[in-house]
């Protein structure tokens, strides 16, 4: 029995709202945006804010941001592959409440990536709003797209600190994940997305 099943029961309603990806040109711009979003949500109506990461490198960066967080709403950094009871949620949660979830990165594996939202859909009894924050400097995105998306953003006049919500870019990222899936030879843990690619994807293995 999984963590959310123990906490919220075996037949919760499917009440997860998945927002469009918010996409930035650089990693620094993405993390700055997460920090700003935490400030905005910190005085909102959510029962908790969870900032989810796939890799330890990102998790540590989020923990650094949260040390400066001063919002009223409890916020917590959570590893997607190491679910435990987030203290920010507490034990008394029902369908009238909601949790804001910021996913701080996409995983190279589409199956792992989609598992984050599926976990909430399957387990969470309260409402949940999930938003992925993506950087075009993500190494596995850069490897496959080069400067293509950056060029489009430049032509649109987008600045580094301005996000886009583009179905085309999100579809392209999903296509890259599907391509990576064809070459995955293992599922070893890694501290970063680049290390995960190096350890687990055929074409990058020595």
Q: In terms of pLDDT, which residue wins out, 206 or 177?
A: 177
d(CA 127, CA 121): 9
105-115 confidence digits (pLDDT tens): 999 999 888 88
Average pLDDT of the chain is 82
pLDDT at 203 over 90: no
pLDDT of residue 93: 64
Tokens representing residue 86 in the block:
């987030």
Map tokens 């997607």 to a residue.
80
pLDDT of residue 150: 67
SS (H, E, C) the chain: CCHHHHHHCCCCCCCEEECCCEEECCHHHHHHHHHHHHHHHCCCCCCEEEEEECCHHHHHHHHHHHHCCCCCCCEEEEECCCCCCCCCCCCCCCCCCEEEEEECCCCCCHHHHHHHHHHHHHHCCCEEEEEEEEECCCHHHHHHHCCHHHHHHHHCCCCCCCCECCHHHHHHHHHHHHHHHCCECCCCCCCCHHHHHHHHEHHHCC
What residues contact residue 184 under an 8 Å CB cut-off, 6+ apart?
Answer: 109, 200, 201, 202
61-83 confidence digits (pLDDT tens): 999 999 999 999 999 999 988 76
List of domains in the chain: 3-204 (3.40.50.300)
Distance of CA 16 to the CA centre of its chain: 14
Lowest mean pLDDT among 7-21, 34-48, 184-198: 7-21
Mean pLDDT of 56-60: 96
Q: In terms of pLDDT, which residue wins out, 71 or 144?
A: 71
Tokens representing residue 157 in the block:
């006049």
pLDDT band at 205 (very low <50, low <70, confident <90, very high): very low
pTM: predicted TM-score of the whole model, two decimal places: 0.83
| High-pLDDT (> 70) share of the chain, % | 79
20-40 confidence digits (pLDDT tens): 899 988 899 999 999 999 999
pLDDT band at 6 (very low <50, low <70, confident <90, very high): very low
């Amino acid at each position: 029995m999984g963590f959310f099943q123990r906490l919220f029961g075996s037949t919760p309603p499917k009440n997860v709202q998945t927002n469009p990806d918010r996409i930035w040109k650089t990693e620094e711009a993405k993390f700055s945006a997460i920090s700003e979003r935490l400030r905005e949500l910190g005085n909102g109506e959510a029962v908790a804010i969870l900032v989810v990461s796939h890799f330890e490198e990102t998790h540590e960066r989020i923990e650094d941001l949260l040390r400066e967080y001063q919002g009223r709403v409890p916020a917590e950094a959570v590893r997607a592959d190491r679910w435990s009871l987030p203290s920010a949620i507490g034990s008394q949660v029902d369908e009238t409440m909601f949790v804001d979830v910021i996913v701080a990165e996409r995983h190279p594996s589409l199956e792992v990536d989609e598992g984050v939202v599926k976990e909430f859909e399957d387990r969470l009894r309260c409402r949940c709003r999930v938003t992925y924050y993506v950087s075009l400097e993500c190494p596995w995105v850069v490897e496959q797209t080069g400067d293509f998306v950056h060029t489009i953003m430049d032509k649109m006049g987008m600045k580094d600190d301005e996000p886009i919500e583009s179905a085309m870019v999100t579809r392209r990222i999903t296509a890259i994940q599907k391509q990576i899936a064809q070459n995955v030879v293992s599922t070893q843990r890694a501290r970063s997305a680049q290390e995960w690619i190096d350890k687990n994807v055929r074409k990058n293995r020595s």
